[in-house]
Amino acid sequence: MQVSRAAGPPFAGPPGSGPAPSSAIRAPQGPPPGARPFPGSPPPPSQPSPPFARPGAPLQQQSPPQFGGPPPAMASQPQRPGFGGLPSGPPPQVQRAPFGGPPSGVSPQAPPFGGPPAAVASRSAPLSGPPAAASYQPAPPAAVPQRSPFGGPPAAASAQPPPIGGGPFTAAQAPPFGGPPGSVPQTAPTGGLRPFGGPSAPSQQVQFGAPPPFGGPSAVQPGAQPPPFGASQSQAPPFMGPAGGNVPPSFAPPMWQGQGAVPGGMQPSMRMPVMPGGMPPNALGQGMSHASTPTMPYSPHAQVSTPSKIDPNQIPRPVQETSVIIFETRQGGQAAIPPAASSEFIVKDTGNCNPRLMRCTMNQIPCTGDLLTTSGMPLALLVQPFALPHPSEEPIQLVDFGEMGPIRCSRCKAYINPFMKFIDQGKHFICNLCGFSNDTPREYFCHLGPDGRRRDADERPELCRGSVEFVATKEFLVRDPMPAVYFFLIDVSMNAVNTGATAAACSAISQALSDLPEGPRTMVGIGTFDSAIHFYSLRRAQQQPLMLIVPDIQDVYTPLQTDLILPISECHENLEQLLESIPVMFENNRIADSAFGAAMKASFLAMKSTGGKLLVFQSVLPSVGIGSLSAREAEGRSNTSTGDKEAHKLLQPVDKTLKTMAQEFAEYQVCVDVFLSTQSYVDIASISVVPNTTGGRVYYYYPFSALSDPAKLYNDLRWNISRPQGFEAVMRVRCSQGLQVQDYFGNFCKRVPTDIDLPVIDSDKAIMVTFKHDDKLQENSECAFQCALLYTTVFGQRRIRVINLSLSCTNMLSSLFRYADLETQFTYVVKQAANGIPSLPLSQVRDQVTSTCINILQSYRKYCASVSSSGQLILPEALKLLPLYTLALTKSVGLRNDGRLDDRSYWVSIVSSVSVLLAIPLVFPRMIALHDLTSRDDDDSLVPSPLTLNSENIHDDGIYLLENGEDGFIYVGNSVNPLTLEQIFGVSSLAGLPNQLVLEPFDNELSRKVNEVVNEIRRQRCSYLRLRLCKKGDPSGDFFRSLLVEDKAPGGLSYVEFLVHVHRQIQSKMT
Ligand SMILES: [Zn+2]
């Protein structure tokens, strides 16, 4: 290893300000690369797309056309007369847009994530199947080990190409997982499909303490199929009602039904999806919930809800449908109500977008701000532009308008979509967002048919699909699309090395290199740091990597411009060699300080000309150099004695240094992910600002275990770089006149009010957009939302993904409740709470959360329920789980009093970008029994029905898994059968259980099933759960019990008590 100590910037120009060459290049355009062109404001014509000459030889060697190889057909497609029909034989320009399409060799159904595509594809069908699907596909036990593409037992893993590098962790412990749902091709389950979007029962009030609300929820609409979808938490059936015996569900048992609770909770007819506005006859017969004529499930037996009268078995709990739902996004000219985010569904885009990509807190939009305020409900969209599709869904289609570019409204710049109305024989079209009448470009003209639609409407994706992608024209480029750049930065300070964190990082990177996008545009670089920064030149001509040290950590610079980041094809071997030697090189490092901020800044300077992903592996509190931090935790402890009045300030970044740095990173399209493998406080509140501002995230391994955590670290990294994602993105949401965007929430940088900048946007990230009224919307009209995301694929194509949602407007409060989307609304509440944590005392945040719930329910009680029900707690059917989720939120890691500062900051940081799908389990975890997996016969799904989250379900002879999408806590009772311990853990007594759990596959049925369940959950959550052991009788066991949301806890009420509390609050507000 050659080491050269650079004394100062090796080239002209002040350190830190960027090398002269590259700044000169950028000089002509003020705006940084990628900052500009955004939908909405095409760059002034006077600003020609600048030739973005790249500094440095390696970059110049890349000729744009060679990018990872999108079908060349695309660029050359002239304007297409007919976009070829849709599903049948995707035309060349129809391709899997999101991730720029895998390299041609890869099956279009197998996006490049997770496992080696080929291996996964070959056996994926049975296993990637949703639980429900599985139940319709008899899977012989023998096939089981093959089911899970990841984390499977060794046999299964060995069948796949071993992960590169064959790290010590992957084989024996937790094998790599093949990636989340949707990652693998899957045949649509044929047997279990249920149509979705059909009519449904009207909104229902749910009451407790009263007998069955209505006579026969079993009255299924004629023609309607049985419970199409399920049981979403939002649309779940009334928990009471006719005995289940009368109306047995005609399908597999619900996944989410708590055991021992709610007999007969399943009411097929109640799970009907609803069509707004157009009510099916029967539904009307059941009484639509108008404000004036509420459907009171009144019964003479209605009782006042007092604590003594509440039957804990009769209160609302989630019930999960196990059937797969087919959901058409529009039916009969109207928006259909999407299935619950947590249910399994296959979407047919018939005009509105796939709800995975964008869904609203309410499926009908209030005409006025007053009505919205009265409802107490939020109006917001949750947008997840790269959400993984179901494998059976048609990919988003790509449309190339050639040089003309996508058709847009000339006033508001909205993109052409199915709701723009063509008039005057097709010569003009009215914008559905601003109402402006545009001339139809001559090249785009088409005659109208007898139905008033363009004759070509069904052949053009942009006129019949809710989601579509456009090839970006030059006006959207300020430079050539950036290459895919990955820079790895590793903490090699004393503690990082001693705890094994450095070795784990090196091993993970080494193994993950093969998962980087293929092609000449994939580039890598690497650095290490302690109290100084070390860069490495990986030129293959050199025998050994050359180390270059940057000692100045206040005013940093990069030592070289050209050799620090190279195409991976030119340095793969050198890089692997280096990764192997780093832990040895720093084995005896005695430097305890860590210059985290300076190292990031220096790496940024190396990446500044291209942008890219900066992946930082940090292990200790950053103690020196720019952006250094102090151990505020100790300060926090002393503060708690004075009450928690000021404690929240420790959850704010300590100063603006890192934020300012992060904004600069974002400006130059650098996204930072931070992997924290630590044993101590690292001030996540300050550190998380960097990933949260640049489109990245924090990963947290605390306390880091060199035994059990490397597998997770590797899988997290692998998923991070291989999941669908886009670079240098800019996003804007538009809406109909009458509404305006109020704010955006998520991991991005915002420099102008209307757009957000996302150096990277990936399939796991969601952005919340809130709205407010600035005028009235017309009843019976539709309110449109359009999200436009301009981005560069990992293969270097510039695209515009456009996502449309058009919803009915209403003046009726009852309709708002009826079409409320529980999961989306609750996700809003969770994000608002996370937002408030750093600025308010925790007790106030909890009060706000509870007030939100009470205000919504009170509005319903006051305006939509009948007077005679004053003694009952009346819950709108769609929101009946709101109290339970609200209670869970007040007890969550983020809001409970006893959490560590870093744990709370971590929670806040991940909530910032969490999707609807993962927000619910994060707060309301899933618990299942593991000890009896071999004897269960409730259904065929891999993961058994969850248990109600109360301690009545915990027995001393049982073993339970509770998971929230991040962690999996395995609780072991104190009188578990030794044989069971032996089968699952390979030990014969409680005393023999290791503290650091590595779940190994053993050769017995129970062990196989436990591993299957864990792997299936990891797949569902797109997350490699971190498993932790909790034993009865020690603090870990107590912690586990504190996660049982329904129990009374030191910091909170029991579920029954909370319902009583809510009821009393509503009553007192009513009088
Ligand atoms: Zn317009």
* Residue 424 CA, ligand 1 centroid: distance in Å: 18
CB proximity list for 921: less than 8 A, separation 6 or greater: 963, 964, 965, 1021
* Residue 620 CA, ligand 1 centroid: distance in Å: 51
* Residue 409 CA, ligand 1 centroid: distance in Å: 5
* Residue 765 CA, ligand 1 centroid: distance in Å: 28
**Do 77 and 93 touch, CB atoms closer than 8 A?**
yes
* Residue 501 CA, ligand 1 centroid: distance in Å: 53
* Residue 653 CA, ligand 1 centroid: distance in Å: 40
Residue-level pLDDT at 634 = 66
* Residue 416 CA, ligand 1 centroid: distance in Å: 9
Alpha helix (H) ranges present in 146-193? 154-159, 168-172
Domains (range + CATH), the chain: 485-722 (3.40.50.410), 821-924+1057-1070 (1.20.120.730), 925-1044 (3.40.20.10)
* Residue 435 CA, ligand 1 centroid: distance in Å: 6
* Residue 39 CA, ligand 1 centroid: distance in Å: 12
Q: Which residues are paired to 485 by β-bridges?
A: 523
CB proximity list for 1056: less than 8 A, separation 6 or greater: 307, 310, 312, 315
* Residue 263 CA, ligand 1 centroid: distance in Å: 52
* Residue 277 CA, ligand 1 centroid: distance in Å: 26
* Residue 937 CA, ligand 1 centroid: distance in Å: 56
**Do 472 and 798 touch, CB atoms closer than 8 A?**
yes
* Residue 362 CA, ligand 1 centroid: distance in Å: 24
Residues 14-54 pLDDT 10s:
333 333 222 222 222 333 333 333 333 333 333 333 333 23
* Residue 25 CA, ligand 1 centroid: distance in Å: 36
* Residue 463 CA, ligand 1 centroid: distance in Å: 16
* Residue 773 CA, ligand 1 centroid: distance in Å: 18
* Residue 896 CA, ligand 1 centroid: distance in Å: 46
Length of the chain: 1071
Alpha helix (H) ranges present in 200-317? 281-285
Residue-level pLDDT at 206 = 37
* Residue 788 CA, ligand 1 centroid: distance in Å: 14
- With CA atoms as reference, report the closest residue to 615 among 698, 494, 496: 698
* Residue 737 CA, ligand 1 centroid: distance in Å: 9
* Residue 738 CA, ligand 1 centroid: distance in Å: 13
* Residue 734 CA, ligand 1 centroid: distance in Å: 9
* Residue 279 CA, ligand 1 centroid: distance in Å: 31
* Residue 807 CA, ligand 1 centroid: distance in Å: 17
* Residue 736 CA, ligand 1 centroid: distance in Å: 9
**Do 741 and 750 touch, CB atoms closer than 8 A?**
no
* Residue 42 CA, ligand 1 centroid: distance in Å: 14
- With CA atoms as reference, report the closest residue to 475 among 1011, 43, 25: 43
Asked whether the CA dihedral 940, 946, 952, 957 is positive or negative, the reply is positive
* Residue 419 CA, ligand 1 centroid: distance in Å: 11
* Residue 770 CA, ligand 1 centroid: distance in Å: 20
* Residue 808 CA, ligand 1 centroid: distance in Å: 19
- 137: which 2 tokens? 């596909």
* Residue 406 CA, ligand 1 centroid: distance in Å: 14
- With CA atoms as reference, report the closest residue to 551 among 532, 573, 579, 567: 532
* Residue 778 CA, ligand 1 centroid: distance in Å: 17
**Cα 151 from Cα 173, distance rounded (Å):** 8
* Residue 852 CA, ligand 1 centroid: distance in Å: 35
How far apart, in Å, are the Cα atoms of 404 and each of 15, 78, 442?
A: 44, 10, 11
* Residue 429 CA, ligand 1 centroid: distance in Å: 10
3-state secondary structure 195-227: EECCCCCCCCEEECCCCCCCCCCCCCCCCCCCC
Residue-level pLDDT at 711 = 95
Q: Which residues are paired to 552 by β-bridges?
A: none
* Residue 732 CA, ligand 1 centroid: distance in Å: 14
* Residue 49 CA, ligand 1 centroid: distance in Å: 25
CA angle, corner 343, sides to 342 and 344, nearest 5? 125
Residue-level pLDDT at 541 = 67
One-letter identity of residue 858: Q
* Residue 410 CA, ligand 1 centroid: distance in Å: 7
**Do 181 and 188 touch, CB atoms closer than 8 A?**
no
Residue-level pLDDT at 514 = 93
* Residue 432 CA, ligand 1 centroid: distance in Å: 7
Please state the φ and ψ torsions of residue 793, each to the nearest 5 degrees: -75, 165
**Do 198 and 402 touch, CB atoms closer than 8 A?**
no
* Residue 1025 CA, ligand 1 centroid: distance in Å: 45
* Residue 733 CA, ligand 1 centroid: distance in Å: 13
Half-sphere exposure of 255 (CA within 13 A, CB side): 26
**Cα 678 from Cα 616, distance rounded (Å):** 13
Angle between helices 882-890 and 916-923 (to 10 degrees): 60
* Residue 407 CA, ligand 1 centroid: distance in Å: 11
Peptide bond into 14 cis (omega under 30): no
Distance of CA 348 to the CA centre of its chain: 21
* Residue 41 CA, ligand 1 centroid: distance in Å: 13
**Do 291 and 863 touch, CB atoms closer than 8 A?**
yes
* Residue 197 CA, ligand 1 centroid: distance in Å: 29
**Cα 46 from Cα 31, distance rounded (Å):** 14
* Residue 428 CA, ligand 1 centroid: distance in Å: 13
* Residue 383 CA, ligand 1 centroid: distance in Å: 21
* Residue 780 CA, ligand 1 centroid: distance in Å: 20
* Residue 430 CA, ligand 1 centroid: distance in Å: 8
* Residue 414 CA, ligand 1 centroid: distance in Å: 5
* Residue 400 CA, ligand 1 centroid: distance in Å: 21
Is the full-model pTM beyond 0.85?
no
**Cα 273 from Cα 1056, distance rounded (Å):** 29
* Residue 349 CA, ligand 1 centroid: distance in Å: 23
Cβ neighbours, 10 Å, residue 166: 12
- 788: which 2 tokens? 């436009």
Q: Which residues of the chain have pLDDT under 50?
A: 4-308, 638-643
Alpha helix (H) ranges present in 997-1050? 1005-1021, 1035-1042
* Residue 436 CA, ligand 1 centroid: distance in Å: 5
* Residue 420 CA, ligand 1 centroid: distance in Å: 9
* Residue 441 CA, ligand 1 centroid: distance in Å: 15
Angle between helices 822-836 and 882-890 (to 10 degrees): 20
Residue-level pLDDT at 814 = 96
* Residue 442 CA, ligand 1 centroid: distance in Å: 19
* Residue 739 CA, ligand 1 centroid: distance in Å: 14
* Residue 783 CA, ligand 1 centroid: distance in Å: 13
